[in-house]
Amino acid sequence: MSHDGAASGNLQAYLPMLFRDAFGGSYDATITLLNVDSINTAHLTLKFFDTAGNLSCTKTATIPAQGTLEYFLPSITCDP
């Protein structure tokens, strides 16, 4: 499924629950982020929370103008 992103100038956006190793390890999610700006690089801080709502992972990234960034959740590594 896909979800609308943040409007230009917004500093935060939220995604629904994404699965990693769910249902016995057979159900995983991939997220693809798109920078639609034709000039500016997007600078991101991604925060992942566990099922109890605790911050479990923080990842910083950049996306060049009109570029994409994709993460397959089981292979993501980041700082706690």
Count of domains for the chain: 1
Give tens-digit pLDDT for 24-77: 666 677 888 889 889 999 998 888 887 788 888 888 999 999 999 998 877 877
Task: Over range 12-24, report the average pLDDT.
Answer: 66
| Residue 29 maps to a domain | no
Q: What is the pTM of this model?
A: 0.70
Quick check: 80 pLDDT over 80?
Answer: no
The Cα–Cα gap between 9 and 79 comes to 27
Task: Over range 2-25, report the average pLDDT.
Answer: 65
Residue 25, helix vs strand vs coil: helix
| Residue 44 maps to a domain | yes
52 Ramachandran zone, left/alpha/beta (phi>0; psi -120 to 50):
alpha
Question: What residues make up the domain containing 45?
Answer: 36-73
Q: Which residue has the higher pLDDT, 64 or 4?
A: 64
| Residue 20 maps to a domain | no
| Residue 52 maps to a domain | yes
User: Look-up: residue for tokens 């935060």?
Assistant: 12
pLDDT at 19: 62
| Residue 49 maps to a domain | yes
